Amino acid sequence: MLTAEQVLAANKANVETLFGLTGKAFEGVERLVELNLMTAKAMLAETASQAQAVMGAKDPQELLALQSTLLQPLGEKAAGYGREVYDITSAAGAEFGKAFEAQLAEAQKKFLDLVDSTAQNAPAGSETAVALMKSAVATANNVLETAQKSAKQAVTMAESNFKAATATALDAGKASTKKR
């Protein structure tokens, strides 16, 4: 049976976790806003300098040569922006994952403590039922651990695929601008 102090402590811990996660979410949003502002400022400055360069072209050949030099950095910058967004969102996701794992571990510990407490106070002859309950909890924990490991492997694979796709796209972009 839970006491009033235990319920209050659990509620306090839940509120602290909520505010901690909310703070992490706002940090991620803040980083995205900063990235977007820096990107917008850089694009504005670059657009102004590119417009000046286009206006300064003296003949069509110079304009064509200028076009290929202006387009090449766009792919690299878009890929860099995508990497930054991915890093920010994956860092926030990792923080949420850590908090979830910590909460899950705490809940599992409390449940096992409850099972142990119940087992100590159980009437004689209920050892089989207690052992069955402990076995079920252990099996559930193993399933959760396997699922967490699989999810982490999937994230790692997705990260490597994202990096490979970005590198391939950048290489293709460089190759296409060199052909011009």
Instruction: Give the pLDDT confidence of 65-98 residue by residue, as tens digits.
Output: 887 777 777 778 888 898 899 889 988 888 888 8
**66 exposed, middle or buried (CB, 10 Å; 0-12, 13-18, 19+)?**
middle
Mean pLDDT of the chain: 82
Q: What residues contact 47, with CB distance under 8 A and at least 6 apart?
A: none
| 157/166: higher pLDDT | 157
Q: Between these two residues, 149 and 26, which has the higher pLDDT value? A: 26
pLDDT in tens, 39-73: 999 999 988 988 888 888 888 888 888 877 777 77
13-17, 36-40, 89-93, range with greatest mean pLDDT: 36-40
Q: Which two tokens stand for residue 56?
A: 């300064």
